[in-house]
Amino acid sequence: MATKRDIRHRLRNHRRRIPNAYRRRAGLRLRDEVLRLVETRGLQRVAAYLDADGEAPTGPALAALRRRGAAVYLPALRRRGRCMAFRRWLPGAPLRPNRYGVPEPPPGLAAELPVRELDLVLAPLVAFDSAGRRLGMGGGFYDATFARVRRSPWHPPLIVGLAFSCQRVAALPGEPWDLPLDGVITERGYVSLPLRTHRQEGA
């Protein structure tokens, strides 16, 4: 099996080369699938991200969620550690680049929501497989942020990756701390994945 580093390098390069016309069409398909999921399950508080580096486009979905009245939250790095905060995003509100240059809502100017109160997390990824494994950028921020949620008795948020269909691989190397996904939305539709371990155990 290829290493995570090899897979990450290959697929990051691959998604950067996706033509803009295809990317625009994919963004509309992702929007439709996100709205279908939100409306079917009655989800209101949605964490998402601003796409960069060739990631699956989120702009159309974010705009549609706002029009439907959903509360949208963006991740923000804390000064220390790997856990992220999720702060309310409103069009036109100021964003500031974090230490990696990614725009995020600044503290004190955007309402922050505890992770356990999110209904849906739309997570970026570099690759995913049929077992629900997710390969991110390697920083471990999503893994660390949702580690406690997986072990907690409250109803956890639905965690769904956004990706191009070409980012699906046969199998990914796994670690105990990796964040498992409930599903993935691609331009070809919703991909159902195995339930997370803590749900299978009835926690």
Element containing residue 88 per DSSP (H, E): strand 84-88
Largest CA distance in the chain: 45
What does the pLDDT look like over 49-72, one tens digit per residue?
999 999 999 999 999 999 999 999
Which parts of the chain are beta strand (E)? 45-47, 71-77, 84-88, 96-97, 103-104, 120-123, 127-128, 134-135, 158-162, 183-186, 189-192
> What tokens appear for 14 in the block?
């691959």
Q: By residue range, what is the domain housing residue 136?
A: 4-200
Confidence band for 201, pLDDT divided at 50, 70 and 90: very low
Backbone phi, psi, residue 96, to 5° = -125, 140
Cβ–Cβ under 8 Å, residues 60 and 28: yes
Q: Is 105 helix (H, G, I), strand (E, B) or coil?
A: coil
Distance CA 158, CA 156 (A): 7
Give the alpha-carbon dihedral of 181, 186, 192, 196, to 10 degrees. 0
Distance CA 65, CA 45 (A): 10
> The domain that contains 13 carries what CATH number?
3.40.50.10420
What does the pLDDT look like over 112-141, one tens digit per residue?
999 999 999 999 999 999 988 999 998 889
pTM: 0.90
Count of domains forming the chain: 1
Backbone phi, psi, residue 131, to 5° = -85, 0
